[in-house]
Amino acid sequence: MNLPEIKPEWRTTTVTELCRSMREAQDYSALPILADALQDAGCPEDSDVLDRCRLGSVSYVDDSVFVACVMCDEARSAVNDIASVLADVGSPHSYGWGDDDERVGDPLTVEEVVQTMHESLHSRMGGYIQMGQNESYKGMDWNEDSAFWKAYRLLTGDNAQGTYGPGCIFSCSC
């Protein structure tokens, strides 16, 4: 995940209010306006940060994480916190043919899990990740105060709560 380097002096009232407004509405169409505000705050014209803003909305995860990084330094730690949880969860495993420990999927990414969590919380169809025989997620702490929830909320600004928490986005082969 490519996280922007943001200087503290660029976090003016205008910049943080624009970010807060986009996050509350879950609408990132004002990213080009954010580029102007960042430039007014001293962000150099040739900056990757301005280039990213001028792209406009890319995807829910990319936009929400980018805006979180513009708003606060803690967003970088939140990405690392989710990555750490995912390292503990591991990769999807086989469904019982061949070696039971056989990994059949790539390691889970922050982008994949944040997008699936968003779909799970905001769609009647929900979203989930098939884990095969890997049931390591079942023994993990998914309560509302867990590291995952705190990081998810910091990155997305999404305070929605699911019935079963983040653990419900994983499905086993049982």
pLDDT (tens digit per residue) in 112-121: 888 888 887 7
Longest dimension (CA), the chain: 59
pLDDT at 131 over 80: no
Strand, helix or coil for residue 24: helix
pLDDT tens sequence across 25-83: 999 999 999 999 999 999 999 999 999 999 999 999 999 999 999 999 999 999 999 89
pLDDT at 160: 66
Burial of residue 133 (number of CB atoms within 10 Å: 0-12, 13-18, 19+):
middle
Q: Alpha-carbon distance 113 to 99, whole Å?
A: 26
Helix, strand, coil tally for the chain in percent (to 5): 55, 5, 45
Tokens representing residue 80 in the block: 């690392």
Q: How is the chain split into domains, by residue range?
A: 8-72, 75-171
Q: What pTM was computed for the model?
A: 0.82
Report which residue type is found at 46: D
Asked if residues 31 and 59 have their Cβ atoms less than 8 Å apart, the reply is no
Q: Is the pLDDT of residue 3 over 80?
A: yes
Residue 31's pLDDT is what?
Answer: 97
